[in-house]
Structure 1
Amino acid sequence: MEINKIEEKVKQIITSRMKDQAKIDALQYDTPLLSLGIDSILALSILVEIEEAYDIEIDDSDLNMDKIKDISSFADLVRGYLKK
C-alpha cells in the first residue's frame, strides 16, 4: 500500500465523522486532531473504523496523543501495525 494512501484513508474516516465544514476544508496531515474538537466518543468511533478498515487491533498503550496527534502520526501508527 502506498504511503500516502493510509494518510488519505485516515483523513477520509476522520472527515466522515466531522460536522464543521470549515474545519474539514482546512484539515491537513499535520493539523492537530485536538484542534478539531474531536471528543473521546468520536475518537473511539474513528479508531474502530480504522481498525476495521485495516483489519488490525491497536493496543490501548498506543492510544495517546503523542502517537495520534495528527493524521500523519496516526497513519504511521497504522503502518506499524500492518508490518506486524
Structure 2
Amino acid sequence: MELNEIRATVRRVVSDAALLEVPLDALDDNADLYSAGLASMTSVRVMVALEDEFGIEIPDRLLTRKLFRNIASLTDAVVVCLAEARQ
C-alpha cells in the first residue's frame, strides 16, 4: 500500500470515527484535530478503527496525545505499524 493510499484511508477512518465539529475535508493533513473537536473518547474510537482497517496494533509507545494531533501523525504511525508487522 502506498503512502497516498494510506493517508486517504486514514482520512476516511478519522472522518467516520472522530465525530469532529469541522468536516475533515476542510482540514489539511497538519491541522490540529483537537481544535477541530477531537476528544479523548473519540481518539480511542479512531485508534480502534485504524487498527481494524489496517490489521495492525498500535503499540503503547505510540499512544500519546501527539499521535492524534493530526492526519500526518496518524499516517506516520500507521506506516510504522505496517512496517513492523512485515518484519
TM-score by length of 1: 0.85
Q: Distance in 1 between matches of 2:20 and 2:50?
A: 19
Runs of 4+ in structure 1 off by over 3 angstroms are: none
Whether the aligned pair in 2 keeps the contact of 1:10 and 1:74 (CA below 8 Å) is yes
Map of 1:52 onto structure 2: 52
Whether the aligned pair in 2 keeps the contact of 1:68 and 1:77 (CA below 8 Å) is no
Unaligned runs of 5+ in 1: none
Map of 1:14 onto structure 2: 14
Map of 1:77 onto structure 2: 77
In the TM superposition, residue 37 of structure 1 has moved relative to its aligned partner by: 1.2
- Number of residue pairs aligned between Structure 1 and Structure 2: 82
Whether the aligned pair in 1 keeps the contact of 2:20 and 2:37 (CA below 8 Å) is no
Unaligned runs of 5+ in 2: none
Q: 1:67 to 1:16 in 2, by over 3 A?
A: closer
Whether the aligned pair in 2 keeps the contact of 1:10 and 1:71 (CA below 8 Å) is yes
Q: Relative contact order (C-alpha < 8 Å, sep 6+): which is higher?
A: 1
Q: Distance in 1 between matches of 2:59 and 2:46?
A: 15
- Give matches, 1:59-70, under 5 Å: 59-70=59-70
TM-score by length of 2: 0.83
In the TM superposition, residue 68 of structure 1 has moved relative to its aligned partner by: 3.3
